[in-house]
């Protein structure tokens, strides 16, 4: 959950490292620090609690060094409060060695006890400092940073990405990873390391993704990778499909505002090349799942947070279009309930970052039980897709704001494509329905643009609700995951109690929450919906209005039945039932952002959160 950067080459490493941290800050922002090998053979380090700007201000007034080798870290605290002492890098060997760490070393207490018994002094409360002191000891034995790292990682348990430099190894950065991300940026006379490609995309779009239990040694002219056992490895090279400008705010007031505006493009990019005008879905990356005439008799989605709500929408669609039973489970619950998983089960993980530890562990569990695994992911080279049998990438581009928006829509679209693909493979989804869906998808980006344009109206609504203490969201069928997603956005952005309910659940308890002035968003099904859910939801609106609720209805244009009972109506274009959730969610994303803005809160980096939860 931390951001880490390493550099070796011809540039002043401080600029490269700080620029990389800036693009990784969304991974954690409790403290930050830099260590650089200076040109006179020393090691200079500076670290500060607080956001990256605190460190940057210090370095602006007192630059650290012109050295061209260094490492840097922005932290999301796990062990030890966000203080200067607990910030990374951690120094050892008399200040000659610096180490940074992302993850949790689960056996650090026993290792720390051994070090203390051996006379080592600790300056921090962190698990990471244990690795620094161990590495210093091993370096004094081996006099080689790579070999010393190899000795250390063999004793560590848990999740870690480690980077280290030493004054006696000039021009070298060594990294190691287990259960935590590390990618290599390949330059000309320079090389980079990072938690994800955002760390170095400003300098190169050529990258390598390190695998589990691997150690990488970079110099200006070389990149060498070995396993923890010392066997050489050649990781696959890949090209990053976006540039640094895409990872900048580009004039928007927040990354979230920028990313909401990109929702139509994210959907268009995820569809591109996969869905013909005739409705035929082409996903060659999934062929591997059917090798040897393998069949899929059951699908289980695993995901967390917003990704789980995308999975819920996908589950409705896949079961309808393919006839395959589908369930959705929270990753962190899945493996602890001893699920009946085995051959014939396809476990589909949904993850924007591809590094969510709860989801990664659930994927590993499923694979161990003999299930096939498919990753729907937005981050190339991330751990979850690399460890899955197949990956269906979304192409939403970098999503920097902690609150997921465009990635959510692209996850839904990818899972819909999966449903069409499976339905066409097993003959359940016919040509005419496929063609109709293709037409629906074709209209979707423009309709999403229309929803993005509701921004000013939503901002006005948020303005007069800035002091509200509670908001409820009601939805039914595919509107239910939208209600859950809308509530999550308000919780994580505006720090307001918000809850999403299945509308049918109202009379089984939640209606007791309704009192005069209670704000309730209601996602209303289409009046053209033959299943008559529309009339049921309109009845729900009447029931809560009768008890004083202030109702904001999200309803289809021309839906006259809603007008007499809603205080506000946000209209969505006419669309098919599976497309409507994608349209209805946009004003809820905007509302969460605008209410946070009205309260003067940090929209891109809400308190206590990080973009990628890489600890369990």
Q: Which residues bind ligand AGP (CB under 6 A)?
A: 304-307, 351-353, 356, 359, 402-404, 492, 612-613
What is the closest distance, in whole angstroms, from the C-beta atom of residue 488 to ligand AGP in the complex?
Answer: 6
Strand pairing of 90-92 and 97-105?
Answer: antiparallel
Residue 8 or 392 with smaller CB distance to ligand AGP = 392
Residues in the chain: 616
Residues 6+ positions from 113 with CB-CB distance below 8 Å: none
431 touches 303 (CB < 8 A): no
What is the closest distance, in whole angstroms, from the C-beta atom of residue 492 to ligand AGP in the complex?
Answer: 6
Distance, CA of 135 to CA of 78 (rounded, Å): 21
Distance, CA of 132 to CA of 137 (rounded, Å): 9
Distance, CA of 73 to CA of 503 (rounded, Å): 45
What is the closest distance, in whole angstroms, from the C-beta atom of residue 2 to ligand AGP in the complex?
Answer: 15
Residue 353 or 577 with smaller CB distance to ligand AGP = 353
Residue 400 or 514 with smaller CB distance to ligand AGP = 400
Sign of the CA dihedral with 149 first, then 151, 152, and 157 last: positive
Residue 126 or 379 with smaller CB distance to ligand AGP = 379
Distance, CA of 31 to CA of 50 (rounded, Å): 5
Residue 187 or 597 with smaller CB distance to ligand AGP = 597
DSSP H helical segments within 194-279, as ranges?
A: 255-261, 263-271
What is the closest distance, in whole angstroms, from the C-beta atom of residue 528 to ligand AGP in the complex?
Answer: 31
What is the closest distance, in whole angstroms, from the C-beta atom of residue 610 to ligand AGP in the complex?
Answer: 8
Q: DSSP secondary-structure letter at 235?
A: P
Residue 93 or 485 with smaller CB distance to ligand AGP = 485
- Residue 217 bridge partners (DSSP): 174, 224
Residue 126 or 388 with smaller CB distance to ligand AGP = 388
Q: Cα 208–214–215 angle (5° rounding)?
A: 90
488 touches 499 (CB < 8 A): no
Of 184, 228, 238, which Cα lies nearest the Cα of 380? 238
Residues 6+ positions from 427 with CB-CB distance below 8 Å: none
Give the DSSP per-residue string, 407-466.
HHHHHHHHHHHHHHHHHHHTT-S-HHHHHHHHHHHHHHHHHHHHHHTTHHHHHHHHHTTT
Sign of the CA dihedral with 120 first, then 122, 125, and 127 last: negative
Distance, CA of 31 to CA of 73 (rounded, Å): 8
Peptide bond into 89 cis (omega under 30): yes
394 touches 377 (CB < 8 A): yes
SS3 496: coil
Residue 13 or 356 with smaller CB distance to ligand AGP = 356
What is the closest distance, in whole angstroms, from the C-beta atom of residue 356 to ligand AGP in the complex?
Answer: 3
What is the closest distance, in whole angstroms, from the C-beta atom of residue 474 to ligand AGP in the complex?
Answer: 20
What is the closest distance, in whole angstroms, from the C-beta atom of residue 319 to ligand AGP in the complex?
Answer: 22
Q: Which residue is nearest to ligand AGP (CB)?
A: 305
Residues 6+ positions from 528 with CB-CB distance below 8 Å: 556, 574
What is the closest distance, in whole angstroms, from the C-beta atom of residue 402 to ligand AGP in the complex?
Answer: 5
Residues 6+ positions from 306 with CB-CB distance below 8 Å: 352, 403, 404, 407, 408, 485, 488
Residue 275 or 384 with smaller CB distance to ligand AGP = 384
What is the closest distance, in whole angstroms, from the C-beta atom of residue 599 to ligand AGP in the complex?
Answer: 17
Residues 6+ positions from 295 with CB-CB distance below 8 Å: 344
Residue 166 or 611 with smaller CB distance to ligand AGP = 611
Instruction: Match 């056996």 to its residue by tokens.
Output: 107
Strand pairing of 237-239 and 206-209?
Answer: antiparallel
424 touches 407 (CB < 8 A): no
As given in the structure block, the two tokens for residue 333 are: 């619950």
CA distances to 75, 164, 182 from 4, rounded to whole Å, are 9, 11, 9
The enclosing H or E element of 317 equals helix 305-322
As given in the structure block, the two tokens for residue 27 are: 């991974």
Task: Report the catalytic residues.
Answer: 2, 611
What is the closest distance, in whole angstroms, from the C-beta atom of residue 175 to ligand AGP in the complex?
Answer: 22
């Amino acid at each position: 959950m931390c951001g880490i950067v390493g550099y070796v080459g011809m540039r002043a490493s401080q600029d490269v490292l700080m620029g990389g941290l800036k693009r990784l800050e969304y991974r954690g922002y409790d403290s930050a620090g830099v260590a650089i090998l200076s040109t006179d053979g020393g090691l200079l380090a500076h670290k500060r609690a607080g956001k990256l700007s605190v460190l940057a201000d210090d370095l602006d007034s007192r630059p650290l060094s012109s050295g061209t080798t260094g490492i840097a870290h922005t932290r999301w605290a796990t062990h030890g409060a966000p203080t200067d002492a607990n910030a990374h890098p951690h120094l050892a060997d008399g200040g000659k060695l610096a180490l940074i760490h992302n993850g949790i070393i689960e056996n650090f207490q026993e290792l720390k006890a051994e070090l203390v018994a051996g006379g080592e002094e600790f300056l921090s409360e962190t698990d990471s400092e244990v690795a620094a002191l161990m590495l210093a000891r091993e370096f004094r034995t081996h006099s080689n940073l790579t070999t010393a790292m190899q000795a250390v990682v063999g004793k560590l348990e848990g999740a870690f990405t480690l980077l280290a430099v030493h004054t006696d190894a000039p021009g070298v950065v060594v990294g190691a990873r287990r259960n935590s991300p590390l990618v290599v940026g390949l330059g000309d006379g320079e090389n980079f390391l990072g938690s994800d490609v955002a760390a170095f995309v400003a300098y190169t779009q050529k990258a390598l993704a390190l695998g589990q239990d691997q150690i990488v040694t970079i110099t200006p002219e070389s990149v060498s990778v070995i396993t923890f056992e010392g066997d050489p490895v050649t990781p696959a090279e890949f090209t990053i499909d976006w540039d640094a400008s895409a990872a900048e705010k580009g004039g928007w007031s927040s990354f979230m505002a920028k990313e909401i505006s990109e929702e139509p493009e994210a959907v268009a990019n995820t569809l591109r090349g996969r869905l013909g005008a005739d409705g035929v879905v082409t996903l060659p990356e999934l062929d591997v799942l059917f090798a040897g005439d393998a069949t899929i008799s059951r699908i289980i989605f695993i995901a967390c947070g917003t990704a789980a709500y995308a999975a819920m929408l996908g589950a409705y669609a896949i079961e309808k279009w393919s006839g395959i039973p589908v369930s959705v489970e929270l990753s962190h619950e899945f493996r602890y309930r001893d699920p009946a998983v085995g051959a014939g089960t396809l476990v589909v993980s949904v993850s924007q970052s591809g590094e969510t530890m709860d989801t990664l562990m659930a994927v590993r569990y499923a694979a161990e039980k003999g299930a096939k695994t498919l990753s729907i992911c937005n981050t190339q080279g991330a751990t979850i897709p690399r460890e899955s049998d197949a990956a269906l990438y979304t192409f939403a581009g970098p999503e920097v704001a902690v609150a997921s928006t465009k990635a959510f829509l692209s996850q839904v679209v990818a899972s819909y494509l999966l449903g069409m693909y499976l339905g066409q493979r097993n003959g359940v989804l016919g040509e005419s329905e496929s063609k109709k869906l293709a037409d629906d998808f074709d209209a979707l980006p423009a309709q999403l643009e229309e929803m993005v344009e509701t921004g000013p109206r939503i901002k006005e609504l948020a303005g007069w609700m800035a002091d509200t203490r509670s908001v409820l969201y009601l939805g039914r069928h595919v509107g239910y995951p939208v209600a859950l997603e809308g509530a999550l956005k308000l919780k994580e952005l505006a720090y307001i109690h918000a809850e999403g309910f299945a509308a049918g659940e109202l009379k089984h308890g939640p209606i007791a929450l309704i009192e005069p002035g209670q704000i309730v968003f209601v996602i209303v099904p289409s009046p053209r919906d033959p299943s008559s859910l529309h009339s049921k939801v309109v009845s729900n609106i009447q029931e809560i209005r009768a008890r004083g609720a202030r109702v904001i209805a999200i309803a289809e244009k021309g839906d006259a039945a809603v007008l007499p009972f809603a205080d506000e109506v946000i209209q969505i274009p006419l669309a098919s039932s599976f497309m409507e959730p994608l349209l209805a969610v946009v004003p809820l994303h905007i509302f969460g952002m605008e209410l946070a803005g009205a309260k003067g809160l940090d929209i891109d980096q809400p308190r206590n959160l990080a973009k990628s939860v890489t600890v369990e």
